[in-house]
Amino acid sequence: MLYNIAHSLLRDVENVNAFGLFSLIVFFAFFVGVLFWAFQLKKNYLNHMSDLPLDGGEICKSSTDKIQSEEL
Partner 1 sequence: MNTNVETFKYDNRIVRAFGIVTVLWGIVGMLVGMLAAVQLFFPDANLNLQFITFGRIRPLHTNAVIFAFVGNGMFMGIYYSLQRLCKARMFSDFLSWFNFWGWQLIIVSAAITLPLGFTTSKEYAELEWPVDIAIAVVWVAFSVNLFGTIAKRREKHMYVAIWFYIATAITIAVLHIVNSMEMPWSWMKSYSMYAGVQDALVQWWYGHNAVAFFLTTPYLGLMYYFLPKAANRPVFSYRLSIIHFWALVFLYIWAGPHHLLYSALPDWAQSLGMVFSLMLIAPSWGGMLNGLLTLRGAWDKVRQDPVLKFMVVAVTAYGMATLEGPLLSIKTVNSLSHYTDWTIAHVHVGALGWNGFLTFSMLYYLWPRLYRTNLWSTKMANYHFWIGLLGMMFYAIPIYVAGVTEGLMWKQFTKDGFLQYPNFLETIVQVVPMFKLRAVGGTLYLVGTFLMAYNLYRTAKAGQFEPDTEAQAAALAKAPVGHGKPSWHRLLEGKPLFFTVLTTVSILVGGLIEIVPMFLIQQNVPTIASVKPYTPLEVLGRDIYIREGCLGCHSQMIRPFRSETERYGEYSKAGEFVYDHPFLWGSERKGPDLAREGGKYPDAWHYNHMDDPRSTSPGSIMPRYSWLLTQKLDTTSLPARLNALRKVGVPYPAGFENGPAQNDLQAQAEKVAADLKQGSVTAEPDREIIALIAYLQRLGTDIKSAPATTAAK
Instruction: Give the residues lining the site for partner 1 (CB under 8 A).
Output: 6-7, 10-11, 13-14, 16-17, 19-20, 22-24, 26-27, 30-31, 34-35, 37-42, 44-54, 56-59, 61-62, 64-65, 67-69, 71-72
Query: Least distance (Å) from partner 1 to the CB of residue 1?
Result: 14
Helix (H) or strand (E) holding 10: helix 2-11
Q: How far is CA 29 from CA 8, 10, 60, in A?
A: 27, 23, 47
Question: Residue 38 CB, nearest distance to partner 1 (Å)?
Answer: 5
8-state DSSP, 60: P
